[in-house]
Amino acid sequence: MTRKIEDYSTLIKQDGIVTDKPIVTTSTVTSGGAINTGGSTSTTLTATGLVKITNPVLQQTITDIDAQNATPTIAQILGGIVVHTSAVGGGTVTVPTGTVMSAGVSGVAVGSTIKWLYYNDGDQTATITAAATHTLVGGTAAVTTGKHILVTSTNVSANTWVTYLTTLM
């Protein structure tokens, strides 16, 4: 039978050494990162003192782009609301490349999702398209004057994003 150092010391079992043995504590467990429960057995994590926020207040920025054609920056998208004034003629709105999206999102990982609103307040129809390494589900979308779309952009792999459009017109 092989013995491990944690078999000899309670201090090591409870104070941060990686072990394949169960750790039981009656005090607070603090994590500076992810908690990996691992193993093949069922694990229950409980928490107290959590507060449910039923109607969160979002701190969003409204960005107004006055151009026939536009490519909103990642900073503008992260602001939450992009208003596009397409006044000269029918315009195109290009969602940035997957690389640009990933570079602009702090801590980006597969599953990172941004929800934002696109509103066409101009007097021309604008068409939403996507740049390289960015897929627009369903292809392009025409947004007529005075209409808006909820945009959901999700990271699906390194520097690759997929965007879904929900018509709210």
pLDDT for position 54: 79
pLDDT in tens, 100-144: 999 999 999 999 999 999 999 989 999 999 999 999 998 888 999
| Ranges of residues in the chain whose predicted pLDDT is under 50 | 11-13
Interatomic CA distance for residues 164 and 115, integer angstroms: 10
Structure tokens at 59: 């701190």
Interatomic CA distance for residues 121 and 40, integer angstroms: 55
Confidence at residue 169, expressed as pLDDT on a 0 to 100 scale: 59
Q: How far from 74 is each of 37, 63, 95, 101, 135, CA to CA, in Å?
A: 35, 11, 9, 6, 16
For each of the domains in the chain, give its residue range(s) and CATH number, in order of start.
Answer: 61-167 (2.60.120)
Q: Are 119 and 70 in contact (CB under 8 A)?
A: no
pTM: 0.67
- Do the Cβ atoms of 95 and 74 come closer than 8 Å? no
Q: What integer pLDDT is reported at residue 156 of this predicted model?
A: 96
